Chains A and B, each alone.
Chain A
Amino acid sequence: MMNRRDALQLLATGAALQLAPAKMMAAFREARAVLAAQSTLKTLDLHQDATVKAMAEMILPRTETPGAADVGAADFIDLMLTEWYQDSERSRFLAGLTDVDARSQDLFHNDFVECTANQQAVILNQLGEQMIEDELTRAEAAKSVGPPPEASSSFYSMLRWLTLTAYYTSEDGATLELHYQIIPDRHAGCVEITLPKEALPKEGPQPQ
């Protein structure tokens, strides 16, 4: 019986490609079943989870400090989708994920997670442009008479807020990236930045 580690290795390295096609499909099925059985995901399915992981890591990649994947951003996003958002917001987010694949299929004939890094960047840029446009439309609508504009955030701005929150409020994000100290060394109102002791004044996230 395949364990979680074997399954991950199989899927990640493509070791199964050396098997006969029928056996390969069976091996993939088994690997996915093993992972699904062990997954603690409550809202996202494995494909959605993979998409969220890929997008989050693109926004905040591992550099000399950990990235979004290292701090488990997708797990936090799954928790928020399950226990924090209302049904309508959750649906909007999941529809947004479907739209990401629709865009990548349309442009590159592949799901987002199967695209190259350059292709994925094209999609993220598109989503960014759409986010700015939506923002302007909302601002314009707010000025005009009639019913108030939809105040809700788009999928991509939800994803960005969730990813940044997951990262910067994680222990690694806060301490390694922001040099946050629970109890600071001292207080001073105006001092020169001395890297790497630089400490950001902000701690908490700003809900959208």
Chain B
Amino acid sequence: MSETTLYDAIVIGSGMTGGWAAKELTEKGLKTLVLEAGRSIVPEEDYVEHVPAWEMKFRGTGDRLRMRNDQPIQSTCYACDEWSSKFFVSDREHPYTTEAGKPFRWIRGRQVGGRSIMWGRQSYRWSDLDFEANLRDGTAIDWPIRYADIAPWYDHVEQFAGISGEALGLPQLPDSKFLPPMELNCAEKVVREAMAKHFPGERVLTIGRAAILTQNHGGRAACHYCGPCERGCITRSYFSSVNATLPAAEKTGRMTLRPYSVVHSLIFDARTRKATGVRVIDAQSRAALEFHGKVIFLCASALESVRILFNSSTTEFPNGLANSSGELGHNLMDHIMGAGAVATIPGNEDRIVLGRRPNGVYMPRFRNVKTRHREFLRGYAFQGGAERDGWDRGVKQTGFGANFKQSISRPGPWRFTFYGFGECLPNRNNYIEIDKEKMDAWGIPVLKIHCAWSENELALREDMKITAAEMLAAAGGLKIETFMEEDPPGFAIHEMGTARMGRDAKTSVLNAHNQAHDVKNLFITDGGAMVSSSCVNPSLTYMALTARACDYAVTQMKKGEL
């Protein structure tokens, strides 16, 4: 069945970037269809952040046997718990395959809002240390843009989204247009002072820069510190497309949001060399539908967007639509994480935190910033923070009785954790392809993922462990323990790079405006566009690139170029 309406724009995906595309395009006057594969979200019903543990059947420990069966991959994510597992896909309905010996953990959300509902909210600008990185060390291809190209668009998205944080004036981590920062807690203040004393001018501890409002902003309320953002937020205090961009798009009266619309492929017209529409499978009725638009924004995530393009092959593009370069699906990156150290920070035993701050601390990258490290390229940043141990410490103790109860009901020692996130180099051998043998629940061929860490990433992870312990020692930490979680790629949930930007159509999929070299009315503005990975959380950059691409697309449309 083919709908007769010709939309000005079709946006595929309603998550982090789809929400921005919907807002920007509708606000610029475009009649826009937003296609979302998953269900609708009704905040009043679906958000469960204020449901206490005692109202949950398993008291927050999760419906373990069901999750092991339906969500064996998703449930490894910290945010996929008894409350919020409904925001993560069923692994049985959404399979993918990997090469033997190369596991990849793909964490996904399919509903209006996508993963912007459960994201970590950490929001940082990238810098020219990142945009020039490939050129400087001769890796892959150069970014076609620099910080100056994207800076006004960071301003633009930050002013709408609301980013709280502390201005530091660091070249490697440019400041945002900040709302007031959240407060460091007692032990974090101790570590911050120690860093300033022992690593002056090199290592700075600051509060996480988070897309969480610290004051009322744009019709959304300031955070009330209930804690578990990944379960939703009825006061819309953290940024998500459901909380912020989709309501703005809705307000224009120009958005048609269609949930349960699983995009199978794009329709390509070889004569005009344009993508003229989208083939959709209705997730409920299984009906095959077609929708038509003048410009198409792929915002379905680095892996899903490319899967759609692979499934859109034509005689002209036998290896995937917009893939004359052969780079589509290649250069898959994530962040390498999970190494660091934890220690007890003595002092402040008579002090506590009030409320549950949904944010940690951040230490911007310090390796290969001013000096050159001999063992690896690029660098890493630390996230983490301190909290007082809770009652669960009593499980491993042997005490019992009234004194034991009183002791573990009181706050335990201050424990501070440094947890590293390292840059991943673009590598052509890390790639995705269609697995013709396997279909998802809608009969659409799934992805086979080939991805593994390189020596450089493993060296970064080793160094994280060492520097974390060294800093905790400098801060007077006791009982210092290092750790290294050997997670496979994907688990930082920062997958990117599969449809990279570039200056040359022979070596890249997109141009400097996220526009496909091969198909002029096709834009990819999710993580697929990234040319390198930085060590910095990418969502804010995806948002800025999306807004920038929308501005360019509308300008080109007005000029009659699209």
Residue positions of A touching B, CB distance < 8 A: 58-61, 63, 67, 76, 79-80, 83-86, 121, 124-125, 128-129, 131-132, 135, 157, 160-161, 164-166, 168-171, 174, 177-178, 180, 182-193, 198-208
- Residues of A contacting B224 with CB < 8 Å? 183-184
For residue B404, CB closer than 8 A to chain A, the reply is yes
- Residue from B54, B184, B354, B402 within 8 A of A185 (CB atoms): B354
Contact A59 B404 (CB under 8 A): yes
Q: How far is the CA of A178 from the CA of B408 in the complex (A)?
A: 10
Contact A170 B54 (CB under 8 A): yes
- Residue from B50, B64, B185, B411 within 8 A of A200 (CB atoms): B411
Interface size class of B (residues with CB under 8 A): 35 or more
- Interchain nearest-CB distance for B51 vs A (Å): 9
- Residue from A168, A186, A190, A191 within 8 A of B225 (CB atoms): A186
- Interchain nearest-CB distance for A160 vs B (Å): 5
Which of B95-103, B261-269, B345-353 faces chain A? B345-353
- Residue from A165, A180, A186 within 8 A of B59 (CB atoms): A165
Contact B401 A61 (CB under 8 A): yes
Question: Which B residue's beta carbon lies closest to that of A207?
Answer: B61
Q: How far is the CA of A203 from the CA of B451 in the complex (A)?
A: 37
- Indicate whether A125 sits within 8 Å of B392 (C-beta atoms), given known contacts A174-B53, A182-B52: no
Contact B356 A86 (CB under 8 A): no
Render B387-428 as a binary contact track against A, CB cut-off 8 A, 1 for contact. Answer: 111111011101111101110111100000000000000000
For residue B357, CB closer than 8 A to chain A, the reply is yes
Contact B353 A189 (CB under 8 A): yes
- Residue from A83, A129, A185, A203 within 8 A of B356 (CB atoms): A203
- Residues of A contacting B398 with CB < 8 Å? 125, 128-129, 131-132
Contact B65 A190 (CB under 8 A): no
Q: Which residues, 474 to 505 on B, are CB-close (under 8 Å) to A?
A: none
Contact B50 A182 (CB under 8 A): yes
- Residues of A contacting B390 with CB < 8 Å? 200-202
- Residue from A80, A128, A188, A202 within 8 A of B392 (CB atoms): A202
Q: Which residues, 53 to 100 on B, are CB-close (under 8 Å) to A?
A: 53-54, 57-65, 81
In the complex, given contacts A164-B395, A171-B52, what are 19 additional A-B residue pairs having Cβ atoms less than 8 angstroms apart? A79-B58, A80-B58, A83-B63, A84-B63, A85-B64, A129-B398, A135-B396, A160-B394, A164-B408, A168-B409, A186-B355, A187-B356, A189-B353, A200-B352, A200-B410, A201-B387, A202-B387, A202-B392, A208-B395
Contact A198 B226 (CB under 8 A): no
Contact B395 A188 (CB under 8 A): no
Contact A178 B391 (CB under 8 A): yes
Q: How far is the CA of A146 from the CA of B402 in the complex (A)?
A: 43
Contact B396 A190 (CB under 8 A): no
- Residues of A contacting B399 with CB < 8 Å? 128
